Amino acid sequence: MGEAASKAVILLGPPGAGKGTQATRLAQRFGYRKLSTGDVLRDHVARGTPLGREVAPIMERGDLVPDELILSLIREELTPPSDVVFDGFPRTVPQAVALDQLLKEKELRLLAVFSIEVPLEELLRRLRGRQEGRADDEEEVIRTRMQVYREKTQPLIDYYQARNLLVPIDGVGDPEEIFARIAHALGEV
């Protein structure tokens, strides 16, 4: 297939890093299709598809949807020849390995994995802004979420770094500046 192959990029980043915003900008500016597993899952639940009925109780409990369900969902959603940006997926190395297979199968070339990096204090400031006037224990919750994110995501960052796909992006600044950094980096890959 050569150069005609469709392209894929992945956006990683902690809660509050602005992945969704940047994925939407990539979609608008470069015609990428934004694929957020959360959005897709919620859509299936809303439409009452067989998959939606299967995942609804899992999501209601706040549990993680099993990898094989997520992957069958993504397989269904991946319809080349459109370029795709993954927002918040994969989250684990097994998901990344399975995604590699899937991209190969669908003849999509993974161009880059952008890791949006934001210092903890800045994330706390942003998330505080989202949760008007909630108590200090909210901050503990946020810190815990960050800790979990780091522990879970570090192996993923190592995985993509080892394959020379990881591109760290400075996630501090206004969304337009951050997007300019991603667009610039995209031009380099």
Nearest to 107 by CA among 86, 82, 134, 131: 82
Q: 3-class SS at 32?
A: coil
pLDDT at position 1, please? 41
For residues 142 and 87, the answer to whether their CB atoms sit within 8 Å is: no
* Residues whose CB is less than 8 angstroms from the CB of residue 169 and which lie 6 or more positions away in sequence, other chains included: 114, 115, 116, 117, 178, 181, 182, 185
pLDDT at 2: 46
Helix axes 93-105, 67-77, angle to 10 degrees: 30
* Sequence ranges of the domains in the chain: 2-184
pLDDT tens digits, residue range 86-100?
A: 998 898 899 999 999
Average pLDDT of 155-159? 95
Q: Alpha-carbon distance 62 to 60, whole Å?
A: 5
Query: Maximum Cα–Cα distance for the chain, whole Å?
Result: 55
Residue 130 has pLDDT above 80, yes or no: no
The kind and range of the H/E element at 127 are: helix 120-130
Superfamily grouping for domain 2-184: P-loop containing nucleotide triphosphate hydrolases (3.40.50.300)
* pLDDT average, residue stretch 30-42: 91
Q: What is residue 131's predicted lDDT score, i.e. its pLDDT? A: 64
Q: pTM for the complete prediction?
A: 0.85
Distance (Å, whole) CA 17 – CA 146: 11
> Which residue type sits at 1?
M
Mean confidence (pLDDT) of the chain: 88
The gap between the terminal CA atoms of the chain, to the nearest Å, is 19
Do residues 16 and 127 touch, judged by C-beta distance below 8 A? Answer: yes
Q: Which residue has the tokens 């150069």?
A: 3
| The pLDDT value given to residue 4 | 54
pLDDT at 49 over 60: yes
CA 101 to chain centre: 18
156 vs 149, residue with greater confidence: 156
Residues with catalytic function: 19, 91, 130, 134, 145
